[in-house]
Structure 1
Amino acid sequence: MKKWIAVFVTFAFMGIQAQTVTDFQLKDIENTSRDFSELKGEKLTLIDFWTTWCKPCNKAIPELNKIYATYKDKGVAIIGISCDGPRSIAKVAPLSKSLQIQYPILLDIDSEIKNRLNLMAFPTLILVNSKGKIIWIHEGFVSGDAELIINELERNLNAN
């Protein structure tokens, strides 16, 4: 049974990785409509799907801020997509300000983009190349994950 679950998870992951992120539009925390095409990086885009109530998400954000500061001038964009629902959406802007998030934060209140990409966990980071292809996915965030993210960015920047 465990073998079949592992096979299913592997194929499901491979299916997600083969996906592309097509252009979409969401409102940001200033209530301005923003398009993915205007926010994406020249070379790579790291998208962070998160919520205000997710403790690992809140631990990831300061690390993502540091990564953004280092890589924004190297053709890498980071986009945060909050998947908070109607009950917690009002907390997104204040939390974004208190955590001093430097990259754009979009609001996916109905989880439309999250569901389109078949994402299940928070946080989920997806790395997208310049053609929109998902080239890396990482679920969760624990100590040491920032190094994994940096290694993946470096590997893919050097591949371009």
Structure 2
Amino acid sequence: MKFPEFTAKTVTGEDISSDVFKDSKLTVVNVWGSWCGPCVREIPELQKLYENMKDKNVNVIGLAQDAGSDMDAVKEVIEKNNVTYQNIVPEGVTEGFVMSLMAFPTTFFVDSEGNIVGSIQGARDLDGFTKIVEDLLANQA
């Protein structure tokens, strides 16, 4: 299954599109909401994953479910956790995609061609994310 092609803005106002997947072997796309306790708790773990995996050509992107309705709360979570990876404001295709999900957080693993090569529901810690990413990278080789 392909991740929906999209063009959107990040929480900081930058343009972003599904072309972002081409820049990395694997992109971890974490769909979260500021109202979701487990989502907020795993954000520091995702930040560590982002820092640890950059050298392995792995990217992390957040998709903030409520950025369209409560940008202040989303920015507060990002700032409080010193998040440096990009977070997307869902609109159009990405908004429809986010609204179709039944559980938060949901994390997708997307290859450089935009294919979803894995997904998980529920929060993970750094070790949990690292194991999944390393397994997926090994399968790509």
TM-score interval, normalised by the smaller of the two chains: 0.7 to 0.9
Residue of structure 2 in register with 1:57 after alignment = 39
Residue of structure 2 in register with 1:42 after alignment = 24
Residue of structure 1 in register with 2:10 after alignment = 28
Residue of structure 2 in register with 1:158 after alignment = 138
Distance 1:109 1:24, change over 3 A: closer
For structure 1, which runs of at least 5 residues remain unmatched after alignment?
A: 1-18
2:54 counterpart of 1:72: yes
Which of the two has higher C-alpha Rg?
1
For 1:99 and 1:85, how far apart are their aligned partners in 2?
Answer: 16
Q: What is the alpha-carbon root mean square deviation over aligned residues?
A: 2.0
For structure 2, which runs of at least 5 residues remain unmatched after alignment?
A: none
2:63 counterpart of 1:84: no
Q: Runs of 4 or more off by more than 4 Å in structure 1?
A: none
For 2:86 and 2:43, how far apart are their aligned partners in 1?
Answer: 12
Matched residues, percent identical? Answer: 29
Indicate if the aligned counterparts of 1:27 and 1:107 stay in contact, CA closer than 8 A: yes
TM-score, normalization by structure 2: 0.86
TM-score, normalization by structure 1: 0.77
Residue of structure 2 in register with 1:128 after alignment = 110
Matched letter for residue 36 of structure 1: S
For 2:133 and 2:41, how far apart are their aligned partners in 1?
Answer: 19
For 1:40 and 1:92, how far apart are their aligned partners in 2?
Answer: 26
